[in-house]
Amino acid sequence: MASFGIDDIELATTHYALDLEALANARGVDPAKFELGLGQTRMGVPAPDEDAVTMAATAAARLLERTGTEGIRQLLFATETGVDQSKSGGMFVHGLLGLPSNMRVAEIKQACYAGTVALQTAISSLVREPDAKVLVVMSDIARYELDSSGEPTQGAAAVAMLVTANPRLVEIEAETGMYSADVNDFWRPNDSTTAIVDGALSLTAYLDALMGSWDDYRANGGHDIAEIDRFLYHQPFTKMARKGHRKLVQHAGGEVGEEVLESSFTYNRVLGNSYGASIYSALAALLHHEDDLAGKRIGFYSYGSGSIGEYFTGTVVPGYAEHVHVEPIQTELATRESIDFDRYVELHETVLPSGTDVETERVTTAPFRFSGIRGGARQYERTA
């Protein structure tokens, strides 16, 4: 029987970055709190001509440059920072990338968990249509109010994945565990550009859903913790993965140390929270920084506030190392423009009115930009 999973993966982030040391100094906080207490050193900050669509298009374009578009039957766009209440962000990406018309395009939402819905939906659909391919894109910008407890956990990134039969990177195993509970730990009302969070409740909701989804995973025939070699967690800040891992090891009776998490932090530590993209940025970081993963089993804990957790596993395909491409994201991270605190505040306070005609300032060097609003409709352009 064919296996299904992730055949290729790419990332993209924002033009700007803010050092958390600068944020700590401006807020009168010990920088060690952000670096050690949260496990974060920088965060992505979008330029005025960037949004979830432009980052998604950039990540997907990098991937499609290698794979081409043949056989792609669906584009599933996972986001909680959608740009329209009706039109899918995926439809803008479809247009920007010039994808074929004979495909399904839709947007999926459930906080940071939506990317996993897209991945699992893609796999289910491939069982019926194994020769098809699905382009799954997760793209988010995490925004909290200025000077709030969530402020140092902002960030942004997009991940694009090609999901196919007989994938070249990671085969996703069939066993999965779920845990849903209606909790007001984190949400963003329709009229707000920033999320509202009950920080303490969000930590317990994350851990409760981890325990619940792990138990369901085991009840559904999932592997013993000793059979899992690497552990990926949703990383709102990288320290959260450590908290989750400690709790899981204690709960599942294993003896797995935290060193198996380290390489998965490489990107998220400097991207910040990218909501739905976060766990898949962690996957890319793992694949990019370890070269002996062939045959190893990876545990995935995907969490989305509100709340749901899903635990599932995948195995790394022998030969995967020939199909990972570290250069695009590492160049992008190395060339992000650092901004100071004042520019960060200025960008944060700028919210475009939706009903007007407006041109955005030309800043990003990414191949796609949000060029403004005309007749109430968002406009995008490809620049490279």
Indicate the residue among 129 and 262 with the shorter CB distance to ligand HMG: 262
Residues 136-165 that bind ligand HMG (CB under 6 A): 149-150, 153
Indicate the residue among 88 and 153 with the shorter CB distance to ligand HMG: 153
Contacts of residue 64, defined as CB under 8 A and 6 or more positions apart, other chains included, come to 97, 135
Instruction: Give the per-residue SS3 of 116-168.
Output: HHHHHHHHHHHHHCCCCEEEEEEEEEECCCCCCCCHHHCEEEEEEEEEEECCC
Nearest distance from C-beta of residue 157 to ligand HMG, angstroms = 12
Does residue 37 touch ligand HMG according to CB under 6 A? yes
Does residue 204 touch ligand HMG according to CB under 6 A? no
Query: Which listed residue (199, 221, 295, 318) binds ligand HMG by CB under 6 A?
Result: 199
Taking CB under 6 A as the binding criterion, the range among 3-11, 46-54, 175-183, 303-311 that sits at the site for ligand HMG is: 303-311
Query: Which listed residue (16, 303, 320, 344) binds ligand HMG by CB under 6 A?
Result: 303
With beta carbons less than 8 A apart as the criterion, state whether 241 and 264 touch. yes
With beta carbons less than 8 A apart as the criterion, state whether 268 and 258 touch. no
Indicate the residue among 222 and 272 with the shorter CB distance to ligand HMG: 272
Taking CB under 6 A as the binding criterion, the range among 12-20, 159-167, 297-305, 368-376 that sits at the site for ligand HMG is: 297-305
Does residue 272 touch ligand HMG according to CB under 6 A? no
Contacts of residue 4, defined as CB under 8 A and 6 or more positions apart, other chains included, come to 123, 126, 127, 163, 164, 165, 167, 171, 172
Checking DSSP bridges between strand 377-382 and strand 337-338, what pairing results, if any?
A: unpaired
With beta carbons less than 8 A apart as the criterion, state whether 230 and 264 touch. yes
Does residue 33 touch ligand HMG according to CB under 6 A? yes
Indicate the residue among 141 and 366 with the shorter CB distance to ligand HMG: 141
Indicate the residue among 10 and 80 with the shorter CB distance to ligand HMG: 80
Does residue 217 touch ligand HMG according to CB under 6 A? no
Nearest distance from C-beta of residue 113 to ligand HMG, angstroms = 7
Checking DSSP bridges between strand 230-233 and strand 297-304, what pairing results, if any?
A: parallel
Indicate the residue among 138 and 329 with the shorter CB distance to ligand HMG: 138
Residue with token string 């009950």: 198
Indicate the residue among 74 and 273 with the shorter CB distance to ligand HMG: 273
Dist CA 34 CA 151 (whole Å): 10
Closest-approach residue to ligand HMG (CB): 37
With beta carbons less than 8 A apart as the criterion, state whether 125 and 135 touch. no
Nearest distance from C-beta of residue 305 to ligand HMG, angstroms = 4
Q: Point out the residues that are catalytic.
A: 80, 112, 234
Does residue 71 touch ligand HMG according to CB under 6 A? no
Question: How big is the CA angle at 312 (ends 67 and 211), to the nearest 5 degrees?
Answer: 145
- In the chain, the amino acid numbered 203 is L
The residue count for binding ligand HMG (CB under 6 A) is: 27
Taking CB under 6 A as the binding criterion, the range among 2-10, 33-41, 251-259, 335-343 that sits at the site for ligand HMG is: 33-41
Nearest distance from C-beta of residue 19 to ligand HMG, angstroms = 17
Query: Which listed residue (234, 336, 369, 378) binds ligand HMG by CB under 6 A?
Result: 234
Positions that interact with ligand HMG (CB under 6 A): 30, 32-33, 36-38, 80, 111-112, 149-150, 153, 186, 197, 199, 202-203, 206, 234, 236-237, 240, 273, 275, 303-305
